[in-house]
Every structure is written in structure tokens, then in C-alpha cells.
Amino acid sequence: MYRSNTSRGNSFGRGSGNTRTRTRGNQNRRFSGRRPVNRSRSIRGGQFSDITKFINKAVPIADVKPYQPTNSFDSFPISEHIKKNIVKAGYSKLTPIQDQSILHILNGRDIVGIANTGTGKTAAFVIPLLDKVLKDKQQNVLIIAPTRELAIQINQELIRFAFGLHIFSVCAVGGMPIFRQIKDLQRNYNFIIGTPGRIKDLTDRKKLQLKNFQTIVLDESDRMLDMGFINDMRFVASAMPKERQTLFFSATLNNDIKSVINDFLNDPINISVKTGDTASGVDQDVIYVKEKTKIQLLNELLAKPEFNKVLIFGRTKVGVERLSNSLSNRGLKVQSIHGNKNHSQRQNALKAFKNNVINILVATDVAARGLDIPNVSHVINYELPSSYEDYIHRIGRTGRCGKTGKALTFIG
């Protein structure tokens, strides 16, 4: 656990400028002879009453027993062309959610799939649904995601696996000119990937006929409920044929989701391959700091060489933009992403971060769900998330696909 000795005017320790840590054990850790830290104290300004939720040592990769899949990509009864595209995309071994769900999807079953972030949920539904369409070009698939960034990412993944198959998609998200998407809908396609609001808008304009879709995927469905999309979800489902295949995928399964599953799915297969709330490869800790010295402490952290690709989360659009400008003024390579940015600005910031043009991205929770950003070394919760589920998704941007990462949470 990190502790900021702000009462003495220093960011760490007793004026050394270095972070003082101790190996976790069964007893509370002490810092330079100070009193033990009460980990169960209430956190001011947040809903969390137990800070141990933010403290967890990563399991070394060597100590993690590799998952042994029952199937393989080659053993699935799917097109050989798709199998070649899987190899080209760099996929070799099935993750648990892929291993346990693909065959059921190929068999036409409804699925509720729960898995940790960064475990390949997108490929788990894209691959079998591509094969479904390839075998019957009359099939149409609707994939709904809570944010435009996630929808665009799913579409990019679909394009990779569909290379050379003459299967096309339309990405229908807010923040982009709707007339272009209407024009795209006049062309040949089998997949629509979009956000709930834009899908409903296109349907209301009679540019999208949901009765022609036989499959729907609701990705990060808990987040869609959190964002108030339940009525849009119900509208879409009611406009589709009753005889359809419905797939729910998420990293969490809360009571709200459970209450609507019966309304959306028919005799679903429930698959949960979660190994805990958070990925085993994410080392989690907290930093105690006073508000007036947070930016100083953050700058000292970012100056350390191991903080080479950092995603920083704040609560508000204004606060995130202010923090990004402050870091930029200090000469750091940083951009921001939040709801006040237009579509192209958000995409350019994500692209710059993914391609290492910048090494710091400051974001609201719009960037927390589902986004696959390679090699994020650290996630810093500069401000507490609104819920523990949001915390899980925030720190899920690091320690992905078998790699390790670190998550730090600032607590005042």
C-alpha cells in the first residue's frame, strides 16, 4: 500500500521522494513507524466502505495454471476460410469463454456469457456468427454495445475475421453523421454493430427493419442498463422476431441483468468463467493523498520509467479535460477522452494511445468498458468510480490477455 505523507509537505515517505511499500502479509502494514492503516475505514467521497477491494497482489504468470481447453479453433465445425483468418489474426489457443460458448452458439442456443475483461468475449461471438452467416446469407445479425468506441472495436474485429468472405457490416453509432449510415444501410450487409440510441433512431426513421434480423448480441449488457438503455433494449427486442438467437455477454452479472434475462432469452445456456472480480494479473493498491497535493503526486508517479503507458480515470468531463491540460502543460504526452469530445476527437485520442504516439490517456468511464488497448502498464483511479463494477472495468484495461499490470486508486 502506498501512503502520501502530505501533512509534511512531501508526496511519499519522510521527505525521501520515494514510494514506501511493504509486502502484504496477514497483519496491517506499517509505514515508517506510523500507526497501522485501518483498511476497513470509510472512503470519503465514495460509496465504498471497504478499501481492501482496491488492494490485491497480482498472481505471477508462472504460478497461474494454464487453462486447458476442451476444443480448438481447428476442431470447430466452421469454415476453413474463417479458420485461416483466425490464424492470421494471431489467435492460437481458445480462452475459457471461447472454449465453452462457441459450440453452443453454432448450435443456435441462447447464451448468457460472463467472463473477466480481456478474455476474448468478442471473438467468442463473432467467430460462430460469421460462420452462421456464411452458411446462410439470408441471416442478419445485430450487435449492440453501450459505447461507440466499443461498437467500433467490435466492428474492426469482425472485419478481421471476415476477410475475403464477402460478408459486410454497417457500424451505426452516435456522434457520426446519420445520413452516411443511412447510405451504408442501402448496401449489402449481414451485420449491424451499433449503440442502442442510434439503432432506435434508424428504426424510427424506418431505415432499419429489425424484423429481418434473426440474431442479436448484447455486449456489456450490464453497462447498457447502468446507462439507462433498458427501454431501447426492450424496443429493439420487441421489434425482432420472437424466434431468434440472443446472446448476452458481460464481465459482470448484477441483479438488474438477472431480472431482464427472462424477457430477452429463451432457455439460455449460462456460462460463467470468471476467476474473481478482477484479473489475476492486475496488481492493485491504494494511495492516500490530500486533494491539494494529488496533481503533484500524480506527476511524480508519471515521471517513473515503469509508468510507460498509463490510463488515468476521472469522474467528470470537465475534470478530465482540466487534468489532461495540466499534464500537457508539464510537457507530458497526453490526450483526453470524454463525452464532450466529438467522435473524431475520441477516435484520434484512442488511436494515438494505442499506437504509442502518446503514453498517457485521461478518461471518464466511457473508456472503461470492453476496449482492448495493448500493453497498458498502469491504470490510475485519480478519482473513485461511481460503483465497484465500474472499478472492475476500469482496471480491466491493464493485465489483459495473460499479461500483468498495475492499478492504483487515489483515496483522500
At 242-264, the pLDDT tens digits run: 999 999 987 777 777 777 787 88
**Is the confidence at residue 159, as pLDDT, over 90?**
yes
How many other C-beta atoms lie within 10 A of the C-beta of residue 98?
26
Q: What is the pLDDT of residues 185-194, one digit of tens each?
A: 999 999 999 9
Residues 6 or more apart whose CB falls under 8 angstroms from that of 177 comprise none
CB 281 within 8 A of CB 58: yes
Kindly report the length of the chain. 412
For residues 220 and 11, which has the higher predicted lDDT (pLDDT)? 220
User: How high does pLDDT run on average in the chain?
Assistant: 83
The amino acid at residue 79 is S
Across 58-72, 320-334, 392-406, least confident range = 58-72
What distance in Å separates the CA atoms of residue 402 and residue 306, rounded to the nearest whole number?
A: 19
**Is the confidence at residue 347, as pLDDT, over 90?**
no
The sign of the torsion formed by the CA atoms of 24, 27, 28, 32 equals negative
User: What pLDDT is stored for residue 205 in this prediction?
Assistant: 96
Task: Show the DSSP H helices in 9-147 as ranges.
Answer: 80-88, 96-106, 121-135
Instruction: Give percent of the chain above pLDDT 70.
Output: 82
CB 229 within 8 A of CB 257: no
What distance in Å separates the CA atoms of residue 238 and residue 242, rounded to the nearest whole number?
A: 8
Average pLDDT over residues 318-347: 93
User: What pLDDT is stored for residue 59 in this prediction?
Assistant: 55
The amino acid at residue 360 is I
CB 89 within 8 A of CB 62: no
What distance in Å separates the CA atoms of residue 213 and residue 244, rounded to the nearest whole number?
A: 8
What distance in Å separates the CA atoms of residue 132 and residue 74, rounded to the nearest whole number?
A: 17
- Radius of gyration over alpha carbons of the chain, in Å? 22
List beta partners, residue 380. Answer: 312, 408
List beta partners, residue 270. Answer: 112
Average pLDDT over residues 23-28: 34
Residue 382 binned pLDDT confidence (cut-offs 50, 70, 90):
very high
Backbone angles phi, psi at 130, to 5 degrees: -60, -45
Residue 11 binned pLDDT confidence (cut-offs 50, 70, 90):
very low
- In the chain the domains, ranked by start, together with CATH numbers, are 2-62+280-411 (3.40.50.300), 73-272 (3.40.50.300)
Across 35-49, 256-270, 387-401, least confident range = 35-49
Q: Give how far Cα 381 sits from Cα of 267, 313, 314, Å.
A: 39, 5, 7
Average pLDDT over residues 189-208: 96
Strands (E), 151-241: 169-172, 191-194, 215-219
Residue 230 binned pLDDT confidence (cut-offs 50, 70, 90):
confident
